[in-house]
Chain A
Amino acid sequence: MLFNSLTFLFAFLPLSFALWWTVKGRTARLVLLGVMNTVFYAWFDIRFVPVLVFIALAGYYGAAAVDSAREQSQRRRRLVVAVVVHLAALVAFRYVNFLASSLTDATRMLGLDIGTPGSSAFFPIGLAFYCLNSLSYLVDVYRGDARRDRSLLEYYAFVGLFPHLLAGPILRFTEIGPQLRRLPLRPDWSLIYGGLILLGVGLAKKILLADNLAPVVDRSFGADSHLQLIEAWGVAAGYTLQLYFDFSAYSDMAIGVAAMLGFRFPQNFNSPLQARNPSDFWRRWHMTLSRWMRDYIYIPLGGSRGSTARTARNLGATMFVAGLWHGAAWTFVIWGAYHGLLLAIHHIWRGRHLLRGRLRAASTMFARLGTLAAVVVGFVVFRAANVSDAVSIYEGMLGVNGLGLSRAPLDNLGAEFVGFLLIAAVLSQIRPNSWSLGTTPRPRLALAVGVLMGIAVLLISSPSPFLYFRF
């Protein structure tokens, strides 16, 4: 079920809200939550549900096994087994085709053709997200950062909590477990109001902005698009803004829906397109993923404790994994490696204190522009269906097909696209962002969000899925 569908907005959400605040008793409410989660997920494809249940069981019993082990080596072994089970599920559903095709390509280059078999295209939406939730719980229990959950019902409610199930925010048990243990009995209207604002803002961002940028971006990212310089940059910027307004809209709506049920989720976006450097970008973009990568990949690798070269290596490796997590394709690997490189360069640059005093202050604007450009360049390969499509756009961005000065960009991109691009660009650069709108009540804002929400609902005819569902 999509958040931006009439079924969700006018049936599932009101019904869930009413039942949630009516049913009394903790166990009954956990059962209700489990049912809501299952129905929400099964709405896409009932075959997804066993996968969710499997991951929940793997996490729950894996953590129990880790917790019950007496010796450290035994704990470690059990943790490794549980982690492997999670990764095996991910690999089975997502990476088998990728590995098989890569192996075939490699053997062909050597003059052999081993003809590897493919697997089915069945991929449970959100698997990569709830796997990370479950993995973080396992590691936290192993480290002693989280207490083992003794209620399977409660753990299933955590892993499958429907607002975050499909595309995050990626949660930690340490922040949701206590909330599940002390379920609020009465509605917190301030929280519900903030949630409603986020839901409305997210709906408007998705339907009024992201979906209106999509047609031209989708068309232009086809192979052999022969875009000229201005068009290519327009399309690349268009995709960056589409992705931002699409994914952050989902996060806003997820946080908003959770708040309406009394759950407090962590922030996932903080005006990332205003970042001043790559490191700043990753503190603002998909914050819960970068937090996960930091805590479970970067720091265990050594973090920034070693030499500059070692830190750069750790950053590169972490972002490589982050890229691969997004999907089984070389485009994501390249995107991750590219961001790893950006972070490593920034780390070296910062370590040498190349800019000081006034020069440093004056450079802020250029730093923002430079970071934005680097992010836009990176998202081209992230969006492209394959490397050659990305190369085609990059050629356009380098002016290989011409500068595009002789023909108006409006001709090919369309006035409508350029209009939405400009609106989205301006909105991405101003404050307050949706998080602060949700946390700071303002009477005028209530009016504006009400109107925007109404318009967005009217424009729902055939809801389009959120971009991050594919990851």
Chain B
Amino acid sequence: MSAIKPSQDLDEIGPEQRLFAPKRLEVSQERRLLARVLLLATLVVLMGGAVNVIVDPLYRWRTGLLAPFEGEDGIKGYALDHRVPVETVVIGNSRALAIDPEHMSKATRWRSFNAAASLSSWKDQIHTADTAIRRSPQRVRHVVWVLTPESMSRQPREGASKLLDDLHDTFSLGELKATAKSVAPRLGISYHPNLLYTYDEGTGRQTRVRTVVGWFDRGDAEARRRVRAFLEPGLITSWASSVADASIRADVEKAISGWSRRGISTVIVIPPYQPLVYHLGGNEFNDMAAELGIWAATLETRGVASVVDVSHIESFSGAPNEFLDGVHLRGANVRKLTDSVVRALRAL
């Protein structure tokens, strides 16, 4: 190796280095300046801290004077923008959007965020939860996982969402908001700071699920036609094999065990179908739905996760007409399902 001195080539790359050497001060002056920096910083922190504790705009101290998840107010947007960590993360496909995080936050006092996304697979959902946990490892306490046969299916989903691809790379609360805002129009879904609501196929309007007109308001014949279209025979077979698939089950259990090792408990929710779906679904569909419930129950028995099986509306006093379609809830059903989850969370 050459022993050339560096100074020969200083004109190309690499600077002359100097070590940090602040200008010397008089003793009294240096202490005055030092005290000034520290005092001001402390004062600002104390003032900000006081506002935080008393008004609690970020919901850190849960004083309740200003709850961030109270409707579509600016505080929620502010909280999301500033990546305030969540304590309960909801994952699942579009059916999981029926869980109302605002209500859940207020009822449990744990900040909740619904990170469910339409068309997501079980792998997408695991990834979403993992990412949320990685971002706030000290904060996330619960994962509410809405498990559905549709999201456990290996069958490729038509038009799998670009939103999910983006979420994989960028998920954080602030980023989720920004991402969802930008891609939602392309996907034909509307954006809400805390929820992504599907739009109403019938009217073409992008409105909130809770107020939208669903199939079941348009007469029995229309509802039956739609349910039959949903229950495509090939799809039912695919769902049935996915629900029974040992490797998918192992993936799910592995993910839950991983979260459990980090002190995060999981609540599995088996969401309801509209009764007409069971009625028209035939044996294969009913067996498949039952199989999912049985497997979930074994997970609870083995202490892997808590289970809220509300696959039939009777189990949570749901109303048959409070469905947007065969699988998506609206109105009072949203509140009732969320209440069931809240009870499970409180029991943990």
Contact = CB atoms under 8 A, between A and B. Distances in A.
A291 B17 contact: yes
Name the residue among B40, B136, B162 with the largest chain A CB count within 10 angstroms: B40
A196 interface: yes
Contact of A284 (B15, B41, B47, B170): B15
Interface string A370-413: 00000000000000010000000000000000000000000010
Nearest to B183: A219
Binding site secondary structure of chain B:
helix
B178 interface: yes
Contacts of A139: 1
A294 B85 contact: no
A219 B170 contact: yes
Interface in A178-201: 189-198, 200
A427 B244 CA distance: 59
Contacts of A264: 19-21
B33 interface: yes
A458 B25 contact: no
A200 B21 contact: no
Interface in A237-269: 255, 258-259, 264-267
A139 B31 CA distance: 42
A294 B9 contact: yes
Given A189-B30, A441-B22, A462-B83, A142 B1 contact: yes
A97 interface: no
A288 B12 contact: no
Nearest to A455: B44
Contacts of A200: 37, 41
A362 interface: no
Nearest to B182: A412
Contact of B12 (A197, A343, A414, A461): A343
Interface string B19-38: 11111110101110110111
B31 A450 contact: no
Contact of A270 (B15, B58, B81, B169): B15
Given A266-B19, A298-B14, A451 B3 contact: no
B11 interface: yes
A318 interface: yes
A287 B40 CA distance: 33
Contacts of B4: 299-300, 303
A130 to B, nearest CB: 18
Nearest to A389: B169
B23 A282 contact: no
B48 A458 contact: yes
B287 to A, nearest CB: 40
Contacts of B24: 190
Contacts of A104: none
B17 A287 contact: yes
Nearest to B169: A222
A303 B12 contact: yes
A378 to B, nearest CB: 15
A249 to B, nearest CB: 16
A439 B23 contact: yes
A133 interface: no
A28 interface: no
A219 B20 contact: no
Nearest to B166: A222
Interface string A277-294: 001001110011011111
Contacts of B10: 294
A455 B48 contact: yes
B34 A196 contact: yes
A441 B33 contact: yes
A83 to B, nearest CB: 10
A292 B45 CA distance: 40
Name the residue among B8, B22, B31 with the largest chain A CB count within 10 angstroms: B22
Given A267-B20, A441-B23, A461 B58 contact: yes
Binding site secondary structure of chain A:
helix
A30 interface: no
A33 interface: no
Contact of B41 (A293, A450, A459): A450
B246 interface: no
Contacts of A447: 36, 40
B175 interface: yes
B165 A222 contact: yes
A215 interface: yes
Given A189-B27, A266-B17, A267-B18, A461 B38 contact: no
B178 A216 contact: yes
Contacts of A303: 4, 8-9, 12
Given A139-B1, A215-B174, A222-B165, A446 B33 contact: yes
Given A219-B170, A304-B11, A318-B13, A438 B37 contact: no
Interface in A14-33: none
A311 interface: yes
Contacts of B178: 215-216, 219, 414
A267 B49 CA distance: 35
A459 B82 contact: yes
Interface of B: 1-4, 6, 8-15, 17-25, 27, 29-31, 33-34, 36-45, 47-49, 52, 58, 60, 81-85, 135-136, 139, 162, 165-166, 169-170, 172, 174-175, 178-179, 182
Given A293-B14, A454-B41, 15 more contacts: A142-B1, A189-B30, A190-B22, A190-B24, A192-B34, A193-B25, A193-B34, A193-B37, A195-B20, A196-B34, A255-B20, A267-B20, A283-B13, A294-B13, A298-B12
27 contacts: A190-B23, A195-B20, A222-B169, A223-B165, A255-B20, A267-B18, A267-B20, A291-B6, A291-B14, A294-B6, A299-B9, A300-B4, A304-B8, A311-B12, A343-B13, A439-B21, A441-B23, A441-B33, A443-B33, A446-B34, A446-B36, A447-B36, A450-B44, A454-B41, A454-B43, A458-B52, A462-B83
Interface of A: 76, 79, 139, 142-144, 175, 189-198, 200, 215-216, 218-219, 222-224, 255, 258-259, 264-267, 270, 279, 282-284, 287-288, 290-295, 298-300, 302-305, 311, 315, 318-319, 343, 347, 385, 412, 414, 416, 435, 438-441, 443, 446-447, 449-451, 453-455, 457-459, 461-462, 464
Q: Which 4 A-B pairs have the closest CB atoms?
A: A454-B44, A450-B40, A194-B22, A294-B14
